[in-house]
Amino acid sequence: MTVPESFQETRSAEQPSLVDIGDPAPVVGGRIQLPPRLKHEKSMFVTYLLVALGGAIGSVARFWCSGLVANAVGQTFPWGTLLVNVVGSFIIGFIATLSGPDGRLFVPSDARTFAMVGFCGGYTTFSSFSLQTLSLMQDGEWLQAGWNVVLSMISVWLGHMAAASLNQLKGA
């Protein structure tokens, strides 16, 4: 069977074919060793999966927690959103400080990424926080809007301070 000329490759010598994968991967100890580029891509894929998994867990936790609080105390003030932002901000400040370069704990970068970017990113609700704060301001509820902002910002600082205090303790 002949391939019509319009379907034939017109690739120059400098452009490798998609099927040209180069030399076969070396085998060391019965395992195929991936080239550095593929190792990096595999590592990044795992990182993205960890962020997605953490984000999914955090989002479900946020939905559950904010709904639980809203049902318990009402929806005149965004208490559920405030609670998840306060807790999430505390958690991210705590983890960042406790496991940072000067921190008390060594935490693998994938675990930090899962917790801080994935879980806390999915759990905290900055977009909801912003919209609800704007709504409070538009309704003339300036004091409530201010408290929403202040309490949300102080919580990350408190998480940082708690972890910084732990870092100062002697011993492991």
pLDDT value of residue 129 = 78
CB contact at 8 A, 169 and 103: no
Residue count of the chain: 172
pLDDT value of residue 26 = 64
pLDDT value of residue 50 = 95
Q: Which of 83, 104, 112 is nearest to 170 (CA)?
A: 104
| DSSP state at residue 30 | T
CB burial class (10 A; 0-12, 13-18, 19+) of residue 162?
A: middle
Cα–Cα distances in Å, from 30 out to 27, 40, 41, 85?
A: 6, 21, 22, 49
Query: Distance (Å, rounded) from C-alpha 112 to C-alpha 37?
Result: 23
pLDDT by residue for the chain (172 residues), tens digit each? 454 554 444 444 555 544 445 555 566 666 766 666 666 676 888 899 999 999 999 999 999 999 999 999 988 888 998 899 888 888 888 888 888 888 888 889 999 999 989 999 999 877 677 778 888 998 999 999 999 899 888 987 888 899 889 888 877 5
pLDDT value of residue 52 = 96
Q: State whether residue 111 is helix, strand or coil.
A: helix
CB burial class (10 A; 0-12, 13-18, 19+) of residue 119?
A: buried
Residue matched to tokens 């391939």: 3
pTM score: 0.62
Strand partners, 27: 32
How many CA within 13 A on the CB side of residue 131?
5
